[in-house]
Amino acid sequence: MHEEPLLIADGLTRYYGARLGCREVSFTLHPGEVLAVVGESGSGKSTLLGLLSTELEPSAGRVRYRMRDGSLRDLAELSEPERRLLLRTDWGFVRQSPEAGLRMAVSAGANVGERLMAVGWRHYGAIRHAAGDWLARVEIAADRIDDSPKTFSGGMRQRLQIARNLVTQPRLVFMDEPTGGLDVSVQARLLDLIRQLVADLGLAVVIVTHDLAVARLLSHRIMVMKEGRVIEDGLTDQVLDDPRAAYTQLLVSSVLQS
């Protein structure tokens, strides 16, 4: 890729008291690139996602992000209004539990429309029309626009959360186990939808998952974490078809045997 990196992580380290969350994680992410961070529970992958998305402060290291004007900014040096604007516009965050990423007290259409209002849209008709378009893109029927997410199935809530995040055309989306807790047939449909939208919109994505099948389907590159450290990284097919680290070999073989 010839484009300049969109995000650069340098030596990211996070301790919780004496306990290590993650240690000296460094990588670059380019526009349109999908990076999967995989590992067992407790490997540090969710801590890393929290550091990248500014929800956690690093004990050491830094994250730099290329703003729309081309400048590379250290995220720790952004003002609070700048950080909030980034979260509302340039970034999305699809959470494992859609209830954590939606406002359950407002309608499906309002969940999508709120993001547009945050970036300056004011015309009610235009907002409603855009919200309807996005519901259609995530396979939610138009006549559900005024329904509460509380009346939706788990898979529909997750699709609504995706629409809410993508409506502002972000350049970078964080995803935390986006298919976790869904049954297998719903997972498959959701993964197809995510893959299509990511490709259509040219999104850069950092996706945390313990599921190697999800990583293979969605990502270009993969980082394998164990006990807070990156123990292997590379092109997804290379790492999964010919893993070098013993731990990665174990992960891959356990999937093949299950």
Q: Convert the pLDDT of each residue in 11-65 to its tens digit.
A: 999 999 989 999 999 999 999 999 999 999 899 999 999 999 999 999 999 999 9
Which amino acid, one-letter code, is at 45?
A: K
Residues of the chain with pLDDT under 50: 1, 258
Per-domain residue ranges of the chain:
1-90+173-258, 102-169
Identify the pLDDT of residue 1.
46
Identify the pLDDT of residue 256.
64
The pTM score is 0.94
The CATH H-level (homologous superfamily) assignment of domain 1-90+173-258 is P-loop containing nucleotide triphosphate hydrolases (3.40.50.300)
